[in-house]
Amino acid sequence: MKKLSPRRRIGIILAIVAAGPLWLAAAPKKRYGRDQWQQPARVVEDLGLRNGSVIADIGCGRGYLTFRLGKAVGQEGKVFATEINAKSLKAVADRVRKDKLTNIETVISEPTKTKLAQDCLDAALLMNVLHHVPKDIRPPLVKDIVRSIRPGGYLFIVDWRYNAKIGYDIGRRIKREDLVKLATDAGLTLDAEFFYLEHQVYLRCRKPAEK
């Protein structure tokens, strides 16, 4: 094999170095997906659920958080997965049947009625839901959810920050003060707020305990 001259070796090294940025640009970038900015494990942890808790995943979609909630409440607990979209709810129900889960119940709801019993919940969660709801029916929906929460229980609201730097639902976002007002008008008190979510407001609102 012919030995390369020092000049030739230096030329090859410089060519490799020069091509480095092009290679990096062509390499696939790690996707910054929902699990990164949503932090679902931490969100669920801050719900304060325990074995035996009863919670509703309002507007559960295809169950992004539903099954995590099921693990959090344990076999003695209950998750009501409510949704107005029958197709999405069927995806949840199919997985419930497939995995033989006994602590998750799907509920087909109406726009302002969850169809949950009064005072049946320790907590309810609205995750990325309210901005999809027409403005005029948000108050009755929230009031119906509150009806199903036991005295001393909680409504958790997670929704976009109004100025979030992410390209979702820009024209439908709700200002934080309006989210709080929806809760307080339904008889709740803002009890806590979590600030670690990059793109979302995370509110904990408490239903007054019985005197």
Amino acid letter at 38?
Q
When pLDDT is averaged across residues 104-123 and rounded to a whole number, the result is 98
Give every strand in the sheet of 78-83, ordered side by side: 104-108, 78-83, 54-58, 121-127, 149-160, 200-206, 189-194
pLDDT tens per residue, range 144-172? 999 999 999 999 999 999 999 999 999 99
What span, in angstroms and rounded, lies between the C-alpha atoms of 139 and 181? Answer: 9
More confident residue, 182 or 23: 182
Handedness of CA 32, 205, 67, 61 (dihedral sign): negative
Residue 162's contacts (CB-CB under 8 Å, 6 or more residues apart) are: 173, 174, 175, 176
**Per-residue pLDDT, 34:** 86
pLDDT higher than threshold 60 for residue 180: yes
Please name which of 72, 127, 74, 81 lies closest in space to residue 104, comparing C-alpha atoms: 81
pLDDT of residue 26: 46
Whose tokens are 């008190």? That residue is: 189
DSSP annotation string for 54-117: EEEEET-TTTTTHHHHHHHH-TTSEEEEEES-HHHHHHHHHHHHHTT-SSEEEEE-BTTB--PP
Determine the Cα–Cα distance for residues 85 and 202; give it in Å rounded to an integer.
Answer: 24
What is the band of 6 on the pLDDT scale with cuts at 50, 70, 90? low
Lowest mean pLDDT among 31-35, 87-91, 173-177: 31-35
- Residues 151 and 207 sit within 8 Å (Cβ to Cβ): yes
Q: How does residue 12 score in pLDDT terms, banded at 50, 70 and 90?
A: very low
pLDDT at 5 over 70: no
Distance CA 144, CA 146 (A): 5
Domains of the chain, start order: 34-206 (3.40.50.150)
Q: What is the model's pLDDT at position 33?
A: 84
pLDDT at 27: 46
How does pLDDT run across 46-82, given as a tens digit for each residue? 999 999 999 999 999 999 999 999 999 999 999 999 9
The answer on pLDDT for 130 being more than 50 is yes
* pLDDT for res 21: 44
